[in-house]
Structure 1
Amino acid sequence: MKVLRFNQDSTCCVVSAAPHLVSIYNCDPFGKCFELDNRSTSNGREGSPQYTVADGGTSEESDREFVIEMLFSTSLVAIADRSQGSSNGKKLKIVNTKRKSTICEISFPHEIVDVVMNRKRMCILLESDQIFVYDISCMKPLETIDLWEDHFKRTANTNAKSKGKKQNDLARERRNSVGARIRPRMALSGDDRSILCYTSYSANKNNPDSYLLHDAVVFDALNVTPINYLNSMHKGNISSLAVSHDGKSIATASDKGTIIRVFNTGVDSEYDSTKPLLHEFRRGTRPCNLYQLVFNRSATLLGCVGGTDTIHIFNLNNSDRNGISGEAGDDELLLANNQSDTLRDTKGSSESPKQLANYISRRIKATIPNQNLRRDFAHINVELGTENCLGFPDEFPHQAYLASSDGQFKVYSLPSTSGECVLTKNSTFN
């Protein structure tokens, strides 16, 4: 079984028990409420999807790639099935689960990697590193964001031929697949402000021919205009990203996975561009693949799920903002502006030796991991090797939901003081 995701308020969970089967479960009370059987006909052509509420059987797991997003607890679901060929992977079906019918089908030039939506907007990320923004009320396309095009507009110092060559070479090397660890990420705020955050390419200073995904763009999807650009959020590529319900905060983790950072998106007038970093946490000291970050509705908690046997929950209310340190070398990026200013000051100054010594000292200090960074407020121990998905239900702010690839759905009670979450209910996907 593959656990796909919770909806925005964690009232429902989407799972796939077979290559052609997608099921939606209510979380409270727990039970299956919808099932899509999207199997192909025997001659290889796609058959008509069957919408049922019957129990689904299990089968051997395969490399199926469903992309699905549910609009809160409404009957609107967006589904793309990449498991039946590239042509089907380019189609997004908007399904009404109550009427058990397809409302519309939208075709795209490339395969679909991710879909996010709220009550105002729907955003679709394609394999070609393009994001399509739609008005969800009438399914009207509003904007196409090309991550490569935006990057080369910002780096207009190279000639057009060179740009095109680099773009084509990297496009051949990279497949922006659903299961790829390093690929563009996007997240959309749950409220009507519709703040879209997505990772952006930037050139590697040490290797100009390679590119990193360690920047992020804050985009107003409601008014279709960019708001802010956050530079060098990590030293490595951003592998996981989340945005708070109100769009004011963005959480990121790099492919190293040892440090979690929360930044101000700058959607409010009181935004301080000199202090974008709000919180910084240490998940652990060993590298780990983090594949989910999730805020609770009030943005007081941040959940972190990865390939270890522990799920971490961080408290955003009282974290320490004094330390700017983390994975080796990562904080040099966060201190880059201050350091570059210091370096400029050392030139032509009578105090150059002293300032240069301070500069070098700060660089060395920045490469040493700080063990005093805040750790998790609460944690959940899970079985190593299972894939997990975490949700914070809006209805029950002191609980956390956990869906696992071993077919288990668990409800945990969050501790009042730092410690382990308490299991209060256990159900099974059938």
Structure 2
Amino acid sequence: MKALRFNQDATCCVVSPSPRLVSIYNCDPFGKCFEMDNSRGDSGQDNPLSYRSDAHSDSNFVIEMLFSTSLVAIADKSQGVASAKRLKIVNTKRKSTICEISFPHQIVDVVMNRKRMCILLDSDQIFIYDISCMKLLETIDLWEDHFKKNTAAVEPASLRSRVRRNNGLSDKMKKPKLALSGDDRSILCFTSYSSRRNNPDSFLLHDVVVYDALNISPINYLNTVHKGDIASISVSHDGKLVATASEKGTIVRVFNTGADIDYEAGNLLAYEFRRGSRPCNLYQLVFDRNATMLGCVGDTNTIHIFDLKNRESESTDGELNENDLLLANEEDNRSSTRNSEPSTQIAHFLSKRLSSSIASQNLRRDFAHVTINDAWGHSLGFPEEFPNQIYVASDDGKFRVYTLPSTAGECVLTKTSTFA
């Protein structure tokens, strides 16, 4: 079984008991509320629901739920290339497809809230939709907008292929990441490529773009947040904080996005944590609703919970100064959105990015953790209704409820259920 992911408020969890069978469970009270067998594929049946792996296992499907509503977005890659380019918007209560959207390339990821839906394609393009009417609002091409001005006659597709070939990258590696805030402000954060100074043909995904998906304008650019590629990214519900972890997985950083009007350019790095000393593939970072905790899940048997409330003990050795990150002028952004081409706008914006360096000493550790010795592959959720609890769904077919400790230590297991 694959435990795939919780929805935004952790009221539901998606699991895949078998390769083509998907179930959605209510978390409290625990019980199955939807199931779909996709074994017949698209052979004339309206059988749209599939599943999404949250990067800790290979997956032929992508799925994103809209909170606890019946709206689910699905892309099924198991039925061939054409199916992998098609996104279905499904009503799970009626078990019917509301609409379908076709894209020029395969779908990698989907994120959405009540205002916006953002789709990442294998071509490193992001499509932003108004979810109320499924109208396309903007298309962001990470290669065209960022590098075409530096590569003369080289087309973005050619450059992308050359870079991946030179770096020895397969289709399953070196993928941009994106995350969308849960509230109506719709703050979108996504990773961006930048070239190494000593090797212009080698690119890293260690920059983060902060984008206002509601008003379709860039907000901020975080440069070189890690030394290596960013493997996981998450945005707080209000869009004020963004968390990142690199492919090494030893350091977790939390930055101010700049979406807050009280944001100070000199206080960019809000928190910096050390998960451990050994490398780990961190495939999930998740904030609780009030951004007081940050969960960290990787390919080990330990889940880490970091405290975002106690600012007094946070590390200041890793802070950046105001010259290390660009805070775009909001008025200029809004006017340029109306009066210039989108590619010109974001190309001009991203061209102003500045270099930075980050220290990693005297870092804080987790304040709580969960160790599950007999299971691998986990998904973590912070239930809004029960702020002192966390939910863990695991590949061993178990749904576990833990109580957070009052002081630093291990979480207490309070309930275990089994996915049927």
* TM-score bracket for the superposition, by shorter chain length: 0.7 to 0.9
Deviates more, 1:3-12 or 1:202-211: 202-211
> Are 2:48 and 2:97, in contact at CA under 8 Å, matched by a contact in 1?
no
CA–CA separation in structure 1 for the residues paired with 2:374 and 2:252: 21
Matched residue SS, 1:148: helix
Match of 2:163 in 1: 170
Is residue 422 from structure 1 mapped to residue 400 from structure 2 by the alignment? Answer: no
Instruction: Give the number of aligned pairs.
Output: 378
Is residue 398 from structure 1 mapped to residue 393 from structure 2 by the alignment? Answer: no
Which residue of the other structure, out of 237, 240, 246, is the alignment partner of 1:248?
Answer: 240
> Are 1:400 and 1:412, in contact at CA under 8 Å, matched by a contact in 2?
yes
Closer, same or farther: CA 312–63 of 1 in aligned 2, 3 Å: closer
CA–CA separation in structure 2 for the residues paired with 1:38 and 1:49: 10
The alpha-carbon deviation at position 37 of structure 1 amounts to: 1.7
Give % identity. Answer: 67
Aligned ranges 1:22-421 → 2 under 5 Å: 22-40=22-40, 46-50=43-47, 64-152=59-147, 156-161=149-154, 165-170=158-163, 174-177=169-172, 180=173, 182-319=174-311, 320-325=313-318, 370=361, 372-383=362-373, 386-421=376-411
> Are 1:38 and 1:49, in contact at CA under 8 Å, matched by a contact in 2?
no
Match of 2:335 in 1: none
Match of 1:346 in 2: none
Matched residue SS, 1:149: helix
Deviates more, 1:185-194 or 1:160-169: 160-169
The alpha-carbon deviation at position 384 of structure 1 amounts to: 6.4
> Are 1:249 and 1:264, in contact at CA under 8 Å, matched by a contact in 2?
yes
> Are 1:39 and 1:49, in contact at CA under 8 Å, matched by a contact in 2?
no
Provide Cα deviations, 1:119-167, integer angstroms capped at 9, x if missing partner: 00000111111111011111111111111112215xx344333877533
Matched residue SS, 1:83: coil
Matched residue SS, 1:201: strand
CA–CA separation in structure 2 for the residues paired with 1:86 and 1:140: 24
Provide Cα deviations, 1:377-418, integer angstroms capped at 9, x if missing partner: 100002366100000001111100000011010000011110
Matched residue SS, 1:166: helix
Match of 1:356 in 2: none
Deviates more, 1:266-275 or 1:8-17: 266-275
Greater relative contact order, per chain length (Cα 8 Å cut-off, separation 6+): 2
Deviates more, 1:83-92 or 1:249-258: 83-92
Q: Scaled by the length of structure 2, what TM-score is found?
A: 0.85
Moved over 6 A (4+): none
The alpha-carbon deviation at position 47 of structure 1 amounts to: 4.6
Matched residue SS, 2:145: helix
> Are 1:176 and 1:184, in contact at CA under 8 Å, matched by a contact in 2?
no
> Are 2:265 and 2:322, in contact at CA under 8 Å, matched by a contact in 1?
no
Match of 2:347 in 1: none
Closer, same or farther: CA 315–138 of 1 in aligned 2, 3 Å: same
The alpha-carbon deviation at position 72 of structure 1 amounts to: 0.4
Matched residue SS, 2:159: helix
One-letter code aligned to 2:19: P
| Structure 2 residues not aligned, in runs of 5+ | 50-56, 325-356
One-letter code aligned to 2:264: D
CA–CA separation in structure 1 for the residues paired with 2:151 and 2:162: 16
The alpha-carbon deviation at position 323 of structure 1 amounts to: 3.2
CA–CA separation in structure 2 for the residues paired with 1:413 and 1:197: 30
One-letter code aligned to 2:92: T
Deviates more, 1:269-278 or 1:221-230: 269-278
CA–CA separation in structure 1 for the residues paired with 2:158 and 2:80: 28
Matched residue SS, 1:208: strand
| Structure 1 residues not aligned, in runs of 5+ | 53-61, 326-330, 339-364
One-letter code aligned to 1:92: L
Closer, same or farther: CA 218–82 of 1 in aligned 2, 3 Å: same
Please identify the structure whose Cα radius of gyration is greater: 1
One-letter code aligned to 1:9: D
